Amino acid sequence: MTAIAFIGLGNMGGPMATNLVKAGHAVTVFDLSADALAALEAAGAQVASSAIAAVQNAEIVFSMLPADKHVLGLYFGYAGADAKGIAGFIPKGALVVDSSTISAEAARELAQGLTAAGVRCIDAPVSGGVGGAKAGTLTFICGGDNADVEEARPLLECMGKAVFTAGAHGAGQVAKICNNMLLGVLMSGTAEALKLGIDHGLNPQVLSEIMLQSSGRNWTLEVYNPCPGVMDNVPSSNDYNGGFLVDLMLKDLGLALATAEQTNSSTPMGNAAAALYQQHSEQGFGKKDFSSIFKWFEQGK
């Protein structure tokens, strides 16, 4: 049986590691949060006393951390801190699967540093949110060597329903932020169109049905309508609680714009969505679901 280490047991990593355990795998876990560790122990995982202890005998290491600095800090040590990085403690030849959403640059730096330590690596950010992590229906968007993705595939399929390879190291992260930039644009545009109709006396449910059968059809109208009361069981009908946070969307839009700068790519729509989400977060919606951008339009000009 493959020896698995899993580091980062938050909203996403917790249920992902649980699904590996449920599939019958032996998983050694570590997180800085005692509560997160207790939840995984209750689910049947082996709790390690440190990140280094978790990876020392691992054949495959998963990480699911917030952002660049956490990932590079975990593997290579935090600048100015005593804590050592774990890279030198992972057995040579093992495979690291980093599923955090980080910059493509950081993903390449991770791959370079791990290669120097004799460890293989793929970036494997996910789409599908907390619901997908719990249900085991995530989409993995990988970057790195095909052989490494194929080696990881059976384990990824315990946590997700689709595994794609976008290209070399960092390409998984580029594909992921292209998708999320489009999502930010689609959600803002859908909220804008719905509010325009409402301002002219239209019923948002009827307008949504019309657009769903017309050329404005998109994912947000299909499964994630931002206008309260149009759909059951979505964050907009639960005071925008749960789901994908405004601040996480803002983080992904920031990554998209930084990536665009490197290639001088034009992203006026991404810029507009980022500016809207920035204002929305500053107005106190950072911890609400990203479909709450509808509230920004409700405030009027």
Contact footprint for ligand NAD (CB under 6 A): 7-13, 30-33, 36, 51, 64-66, 70, 74, 100-101, 126, 129-130, 244, 248
**Taking CB positions, which residue lies at the least distance from ligand NAD?**
10
- Please say which residue, 64 or 207, places its beta carbon nearer to ligand NAD: 64
Nearer to ligand NAD by Cβ, of 130 and 257: the residue is 130
Q: How near is the Cβ of 23 to ligand NAD at its closest, in Å?
A: 20
Alpha helix stretches (DSSP H) within the chain: 13-22, 34-43, 51-55, 68-76, 104-116, 129-135, 146-159, 171-199, 204-212, 219-223, 246-262, 268-280, 293-298
Q: Which two tokens stand for residue 2?
A: 């493959």
Active site residue 176: yes
What is the nearest approach in angstroms of ligand NAD to the Cβ of residue 55? 11
What is the spatial distance between Cα 87 and Cα 61, in angstroms, rounded to a whole number? 11
DSSP state of 289: B
Of the candidates 69, 161, 176, 295, the residue annotated as catalytic is 176
Q: Which is nearer to ligand NAD, 244 or 277 (CB)?
A: 244
On whether the CB atoms of residues 97 and 61 are closer than 8 A, the answer is yes
For the stretch 220-241, what's the b/e string if a residue is b when 16 or more beta carbons lie within 10 angstroms of its beta carbon? Answer: bbeebbbbbebbeebbbeeebe
Distance separating alpha carbons of residues 301 and 298, to the nearest angstrom? 9
* Residues 6+ positions from 239 with CB-CB distance below 8 Å: 288
Nearer to ligand NAD, 94 or 141 (CB): 141
Q: How far is the CB of 135 from ligand NAD (least distance, A)?
A: 13
Q: How far is the CB of 140 from ligand NAD (least distance, A)?
A: 11
Closest separation in Å from C-beta 131 to ligand NAD:
8
Nearer to ligand NAD, 106 or 155 (CB): 106
Residues in the chain: 301
Smallest gap from residue 83 Cβ to ligand NAD (A): 8
- The rounded distance, in Å, linking the Cα atoms of 93 and 59 is 8
Q: Give the CA diameter of the chain.
A: 65
Residue with tokens 């917790």: 14
Catalytic residues: 176
